[in-house]
Amino acid sequence: MSDPPSRSKAELDREFSDLYRTHLRDVYSYSYYRVGNHHDAEDLTEQTFLQAYRHYERALRESDGRPLRPWLIRIAHNLAANFYRDRARKPQAAIEDAAVISSPHTTETLVEGREELEEILAGVQQLPDDRREALIMRFALGMDNREIARALGRTDGATKVLLHRAIKQLEGIVAHPEPTS
């Protein structure tokens, strides 16, 4: 009961390199929306691809030719959950984002747009994990319902309902923000 002859290590490495180039932006974007800063997102992205590389051959066998993007996002999802679990065990002081503003002269429209985006992102952070995950996958990564369902281990129908409820809840949060203390 042995597996059929497998591809050479060089072939697998070439294929994995293609997978990496194709999905690096998606995995990074997902990680960034989950953790909210570039440094941690880069770390999670690196960990995602390291773990994916270790299990790549098995994933190819089990995928039956289906795209591997949901599998990669699932790995990133699990690593992000571990990141938050570890952070909860070891609380750290928040560090302000020290990014330098590229242009000191911003327009009023840009400021208003940034404030609205900040309200939406803050609202997304208030959603339950599964709803937040689904919205990130849908709108930040452009994943379709079937890909999201595979990444979250749900049915297509349950994913459609999850997205609908997430959007409705986010609309309510943004329309009626909680007062900050």
**DSSP calls for 10-73:** HHHHHHHHHHHHHHHHHHHHHHHHHH-SHHHHHHHHHHHHHHHHHTHHHHHHHHTT--SHHHHH
3-state secondary structure of 154: coil
CATH of domain 107-181: 1.10.10.10
Distance, in Å, from the CA atom of 51 to the CA atom of 72, rounded to the nearest integer, reads 9
Does 7-92 match 107-181 in CATH topology?
Answer: no
Measure the N-to-C terminal CA separation of the chain; round to a whole number of Å. 64
Is the pTM for the entire model greater than 0.75? Answer: no
3-state secondary structure of 1: coil
State in words which class domain 7-92 has: mainly alpha
Going from N- to C-terminal start, the domains of the chain cover 7-92, 107-181
* pLDDT tens-place values along the chain, 181 residues long: 444 456 788 888 999 999 999 999 999 999 998 888 889 999 999 999 999 999 999 999 888 888 999 999 999 999 988 887 776 665 544 444 444 444 444 455 545 556 777 777 788 888 888 898 888 888 888 888 998 998 888 999 999 999 999 989 988 888 887 665 5
